[in-house]
């Protein structure tokens, strides 16, 4: 069942979302050559705790860290390790925080130093595809409208859309119904209603969108080793559109 959140629940989800936003802001200056993803994980963990929240992903299905750190060809669910970031890498940080039982979930891809033109293009248009999807959200539209818009945008920019991984509802569970795919047919799928809270999260690739899962049981990367980017916001459907809960003032 897709739940409709009460005003009080939306306030708590907004608070959780704001902590996720602040965690991204806090980590950004540390994303430099030489830092390990484990160090980023520790910084994120301690910051989330300092905000009176807990990291949503720590222990989720046995995930061994507080955030997901996915570098270059890694799409999602990269496990923080002793790997050091290098200039020219891109890294996707997927961060979840739970505040008083309610979650926020947001991913962003960052450049490490100066990156290749093609990576800048991938990042720019994956981020834009997220906002193209969010534009479709208002009561009366369908989940399929979001994915259709993201897919059309990605295809127009010659980028691949990972189809096996999807967005989701967010509430007292970090992953709730409905699925929010990054592809779809307009006018199909669950109807969007005021008070629904969902995470929209396009994962786009420079090459083929085919993915493989590594032996660690978590890390998902592109089959052709070409780069992937990931942008995600948790949002609430409002009476006339959408409000981003993980975006801060600048969206
Ligand atoms: Mg996420
Ligand atoms: Mg998510």
**Residue 250 in this model has a pLDDT that exceeds 60:** no
Tokens of 61: 């299905």
**Residue 248 in this model has a pLDDT that exceeds 80:** no
Domain covering 7-244 assigned CATH 3.90.230.10 in the classification: yes
Residue ranges per domain, the chain?
A: 7-244
126 CA distance to ligand 1 middle (Å): 15
pTM tops 0.95, yes or no: yes
87 CA distance to ligand 1 middle (Å): 24
Q: How would you write 213-244 as a 3-class SS string?
A: ECCCCCCEEECCCCCEEECCEEEEECCCCEEE
Q: What is the pLDDT of residues 45-70, one digit of tens each?
A: 999 999 999 999 999 999 999 999 99
Q: What pLDDT does residue 188 have?
A: 98
Q: Which ligand is nearest to the CA of 55?
A: 1
Q: What percent of the chain has pLDDT over 70?
A: 98
Say how far apart CA 135 and CA 172 lie, in whole Å.
Answer: 25
92 DSSP β-pair partners? 70, 109
**Residue 41 in this model has a pLDDT that exceeds 70:** yes
Q: How many Cα atoms occupy the beta-carbon half-sphere of 177 within 13 Å?
A: 7
Say how far apart CA 193 and CA 237 lie, in whole Å.
Answer: 6
């Amino acid at each position: 069942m897709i739940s409709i959140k009460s005003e009080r629940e939306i306030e708590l989800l907004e608070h959780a979302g704001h902590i996720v936003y602040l965690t991204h802001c806090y980590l950004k200056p540390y994303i430099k050559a030489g830092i390990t993803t484990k160090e980023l994980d520790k910084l994120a963990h301690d910051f989330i705790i300092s905000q009176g929240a807990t990291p949503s992903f720590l222990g989720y299905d046995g995930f061994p860290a507080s955030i997901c750190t996915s570098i270059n060809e890694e799409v999602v669910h990269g496990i923080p390790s002793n790997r050091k970031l290098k200039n020219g890498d891109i890294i996707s940080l997927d961060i979840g925080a739970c505040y008083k039982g309610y979650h926020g979930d947001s991913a962003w891809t960052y450049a490490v130093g100066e990156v290749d033109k093609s990576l800048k293009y991938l990042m720019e248009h994956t981020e834009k595809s997220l906002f193209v999807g969010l534009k479709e959200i208002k009561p009366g539209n369908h989940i399929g409208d979001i994915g259709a818009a993201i897919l059309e945008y990605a295809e127009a920019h010659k980028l691949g859309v990972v189809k096996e991984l999807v967005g989701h509802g967010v509430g007292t569970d970090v992953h709730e119904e409905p699925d929010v795919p990054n592809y779809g047919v307009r006018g199909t799928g669950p109807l969007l209603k005021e008070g629904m809270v969902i995470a929209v999260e396009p994962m786009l690739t420079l090459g083929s969108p085919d993915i493989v899962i590594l032996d660690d049981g978590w890390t998902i990367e592109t089959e052709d080793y070409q780069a992937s980017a990931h942008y995600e916001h948790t949002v609430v459907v409002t009476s006339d559109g959408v409000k981003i809960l993980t975006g801060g003032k600048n969206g």
